[in-house]
Structure 1
Amino acid sequence: MDAPIPLSLPRTVALVGLMGAGKSAIGKRLATRLGLPFIDADDEIERAAGCSIAEIFAKYGEADFRAGERRVIARLLDRPSHVLSTGGGAYIDPNTRALMRAKAITVWLRADLDVLFERVKKRGHRPLLRQGDPREVLGRLMAQRYPIYAEADIVVESTAQPADRTTEQVIEALRLYLEAAQAKAPA
């Protein structure tokens, strides 16, 4: 890969979107390209809890999981700038969303149902997909969550194209976002 891109990021870049949108795959590439650390919030939640997300859901339920997720993300957003991959439901929680909007640049990786389904259909570790037909569950989640994800600072289409191409699109979208923010800033 090329050398890190000289892009001055004043805050963490938080990737949001449904499972299968590419948050981890794009996040790792983005961090490398920007010369920043990459952190996966789900990995940090599992480390803090001492068990898997599926186990947390099974033992404590989604409400307790979301509360723990909010605490972990708050702690992560207090760190120096990095690229943060968040779980699919993190941005849906109003308190977590407000925290991310205040302390990060949020990027929604928007993908259509066929792309999402193709990426997640062989993975059995996603608790929400165990609640019925996975394609129908994804469709329901899209209907519920896409209007909320649309509140993100930046939207980038995550298609079936190579992850490196999507990463370049995120970098360009960040550049445009930062230029617009700078133009609006008082002189």
Structure 2
Amino acid sequence: MNDVTEPVSATLAERAKRTLGKRNLVFIGLMGAGKSAIGRLTAQALGVPFVDSDHEIERVSRMTVSDLFATYGEEEFRALEARVLKRLLRSGPRVVSTGGGAYINERSRRHIKKGGLTIWLNAELDVLWERVNKRDTRPLLKTENPKQTLENLMRARYPIYAEADLTVLSRDVKKEAMVEEVLAAVADHQKA
């Protein structure tokens, strides 16, 4: 038997977990890409804890992300986000979903790259818009033309998201199918 060949009994999740080792799996991407939903299901499949960094920020600050933005502004929010991410990524393995701007912030990006394997859920504008326009909880979309704002964010952020270790296209398919694609991408990733 070839040493490189996986045993037939190894499931995709087991292979992905072996590839991940003690590293964290960190989901990045724009709001509405599915980082939290797919991240949570991926964590379940891997049998590791799941943490949503925005929820952790809200827990430690006792404020919503929207309230933090309104009260302190984006710069202060990003500083808090970087501190929370640094703490969350100190140990693993776990699955972490980040806010859409986390990977854009240079300090947070350093913590994320150091603390885990990054996976970008890349989605097209229409998919994102369909998902985010139903709620008004997105502080960056509280503009005169939120769809144009979302498109502008895509143009600005996608080149930076492209630095991720892995990319999976987020689209309107069953969440379980997305999780399988994520697990396959992780399982097939060569450790650097």
TM-score when normalising by structure 1? 0.92
Runs of 4+ displaced beyond 4 Å: none
Aligned twin of 1:84: 96
The share of aligned pairs that are identical, in percent, is: 47
Aligned twin of 1:39: 51
CA distance, structure 2, for counterparts of residue 174 and residue 114 of structure 1: 27
Residue by residue over 1:98-153, the C-alpha shift from the partner in whole angstroms, topping out at 9 and shown as x without a partner, is 11111100000000000000000111111001023121111000000000000000
**Which of 163, 166, 178 is 1:166 aligned to?**
178
Shift of residue 48 of structure 1? 0.7
Residue by residue over 1:77-116, the C-alpha shift from the partner in whole angstroms, topping out at 9 and shown as x without a partner, is 0132100000000000111111111110000000000000
Question: 1:169-184 maps to which residues of 2 (within 5 A)?
Answer: 169-177=181-189, 180-181=190-191
Q: Which runs of 5+ in 2 are unaligned?
A: 1-10
Question: 1:21-32 maps to which residues of 2 (within 5 A)?
Answer: 21-32=33-44
Aligned twin of 1:103: 115
Question: 1:4-153 maps to which residues of 2 (within 5 A)?
Answer: 5-6=13-14, 7-8=17-18, 9-10=20-21, 11-153=23-165
**Which of 162, 166, 169 is 1:154 aligned to?**
166
CA distance, structure 2, for counterparts of residue 4 and residue 43 of structure 1: 29
CA distance, structure 2, for counterparts of residue 65 and residue 93 of structure 1: 11
Aligned twin of 2:4: none
Matched letter for residue 97 of structure 2: S
SS in 1 for 2:129: helix
CA distance, structure 1, for counterparts of residue 60 and residue 169 of structure 2: 32
RMSD of the TM alignment (CA)? Answer: 1.3
**8 A Cα contact 2:102 2:108, kept in partner:** yes
SS in 1 for 2:13: coil
SS in 2 for 1:79: coil
Name which of structure 1's ranges 3-12 and 40-49 shifts more when overlaid on structure 2.
3-12
**8 A Cα contact 1:4 1:32, kept in partner:** no
**8 A Cα contact 1:19 1:116, kept in partner:** yes
Matched letter for residue 5 of structure 1: A
TM-score when normalising by structure 2? 0.90
Q: How many residues were matched structurally?
A: 178
CA distance, structure 2, for counterparts of residue 34 and residue 146 of structure 1: 27
Matched letter for residue 13 of structure 2: I
**8 A Cα contact 1:45 1:68, kept in partner:** yes
